[in-house]
Amino acid sequence: MSYPVIKGSSYILVHAPNILKQGGSTQTTTRKKDPNDPYLSKMDNYLRNFDEFVGYGPNQAYIGNILPADLKEIEQPWYAEDNLLDANKDGEFGEIMSEDQFITLIKHVDVFDLVKLSKDFTEKGKELIEDHPILKEMEIDLSEGEDKETLEKLLDNHAEPLYLDQELVGCVKQAHETDINLSAHVIYENLIGKASAVLAMKNLETKNDINLADIDYILECSEEACGDINQRGGGNFAKAIGEIAGCEKATGSDVRSFCAAPAHAMVNAAALVKAGVYENVAVVAGGSVAKLGMNGKDHVKKEMPILEDGLGGFAILISKNDVENPIIRTDIVGRHKVGTGSSPQAVISSLVTDPLDEHDISIKEIDKYSVEMQNPEITKPAGAGNVPESNYKMIAALGVKRGDLERKELMDFVDKHGMTGFAPTQGHIPSGVPFVGPAVKMIKDKQIKNSMIIGKGSLFLGRMTNLFDGVSFVIEENTGKKDEDTNVSDQEIKNMIADAMRKMSENLIGESN
């Protein structure tokens, strides 16, 4: 069987302390409830600068400068000044962008002239663009900029402000006077999600020597929704991203399933390529403004930095088998069914052991499992514990119960087949897919043979159902083989059809005579 391959991937982060303060859900709800809440006044003292953000070990793992396993060698807390890495904002898989450069990109992706920037920032922004190879290549035009009085009038008319270090540098206008789906805040969130996704797509191109014009289809899988009062969440982020990124031959659509959406999108992309509908399908997602500073109050209480200060994004290209890159086993797909149930054992069984059992594969034959890869330094202070480790323990415990492991092997399994969480808590971003890039690298370097990517989601958040959601798939090394029938060229098939048609015609003529 000829399986689709993972041809390339990219992972980006945007340092966004000002967007955190203005748009993060914890901050906006706190401000609405009590503008004088002590947390709001303390925030500035607990926000990291750009160099601290770049040097943070989990962020370096996310963009590919170190592997997740390398985090074990770094003393914790990773955010401590003495434990920061002498690191680069440019990574093997992507990059870390500063907030000021990102604001120029927000302006660029706005096609309805809803983003207005100050005259002073516009002049600075032109220099920022010239200093960044991707932004420079995109030929961003910031226009002339607005004076301070104009921006303040727009803020009085419900625009969403853009700040840098307490300074107003621009704003995002509302797109409709009465439609809450087109309010300034929603447009603000959606443009930021779009801009970070475009950045991921451009890094997919530059980091993997990929021509985005060769992409046939785009599946966007964030947690944002765009539409108006008549079709809330109608989309289409995918085509909007493709337009700016330069995917001229592509069409696309959006996939939504809370945190599990990226895994669903990966399976859908693999199926489209396997079926021959498209040769190159990109899966992409930008960051979530709402998740910035989500656990900020707990971090401040613990006298630690607010670690959810970065937007995350990724892009992955799925293509037809090139007998080189690691494959996606489209025949080994786990899924949380409607009737599965919500117990931890039922969830893990449906996503891990059930699909492996169908192919007589032991849980120990999967070298690495990528689950909900949240950074534990973010989640533990908030009382959520070490999420990846908990998932690995559940897989191992199920293995013990099934007889696949002995009880004494449980923690050895967790250590060998699991990994340290390293992804930002951006909802959809941590769920399985952050390890796709490292997995491909490790498979090609012969460090591992395969990996199972597991995406899980909480559907009850939408108040439509109490069900959980999840899907999983396996990546493994490419054996260099395709289907036997692929040895027959398209032209040979056409010749065989033409020959058969000719013979049929000759037989019909003979019968009529």
175 and 101 belong to one structural domain: yes
Number of domains in the chain: 2
Contact 288, 301 (CB under 8 A): no
200 and 294 belong to one structural domain: yes
Amino acid at 59: N
455 and 513 belong to one structural domain: no
pLDDT recorded at residue 480:
86
Cα-to-chain-centroid distance, residue 489: 37
Q: Is the N-terminal amide bond of 236 cis, ω within 30° of 0?
A: yes
Please write the tens of the pLDDT for every residue from 46-69.
999 999 999 999 999 999 999 999
Contact 259, 215 (CB under 8 A): no
- pLDDT at residue 216 tops 50: yes
161 and 122 belong to one structural domain: yes
Domain, as residue range, for 509: 486-513
Please write the tens of the pLDDT for every residue from 331-389.
999 999 999 998 989 999 999 999 999 999 999 999 999 999 999 999 999 999 999 99
364 and 310 belong to one structural domain: yes
171 and 243 belong to one structural domain: yes
pLDDT recorded at residue 342:
87
DSSP, collapsed to helix, strand or coil, labels residue 85 as coil
451 and 495 belong to one structural domain: no
Distance CA 12, CA 284 (A): 11
Percent of the chain whose predicted confidence (pLDDT) is above 70: 94
| Longest distance between any two alpha carbons in the chain, whole Å | 99
281 and 248 belong to one structural domain: yes
Please write the tens of the pLDDT for every residue from 174-202.
999 999 999 999 999 999 999 999 999 99
Mean of the pLDDT values across residues 98-120?
Answer: 98
pLDDT recorded at residue 484:
47
501 and 368 belong to one structural domain: no
Please write the tens of the pLDDT for every residue from 462-493.
999 999 999 999 999 999 876 544 455 566 66
320 and 389 belong to one structural domain: yes
421 and 505 belong to one structural domain: no
Q: How confident is the model at residue 143 (pLDDT cuts 50, 70, 90)?
A: confident
Phi, psi torsion values for 487, nearest 5 degrees: -75, -15
- pLDDT at residue 404 tops 80: yes
pLDDT recorded at residue 297:
98
pTM value is 0.93
pLDDT recorded at residue 509:
54
* Half-sphere exposure at residue 15, Cβ-oriented, CA atoms within 13 angstroms: 22
Look at the block and give the residue holding tokens 């959601």: 469
CATH number, domain containing residue 227? 3.40.47
186 and 329 belong to one structural domain: yes
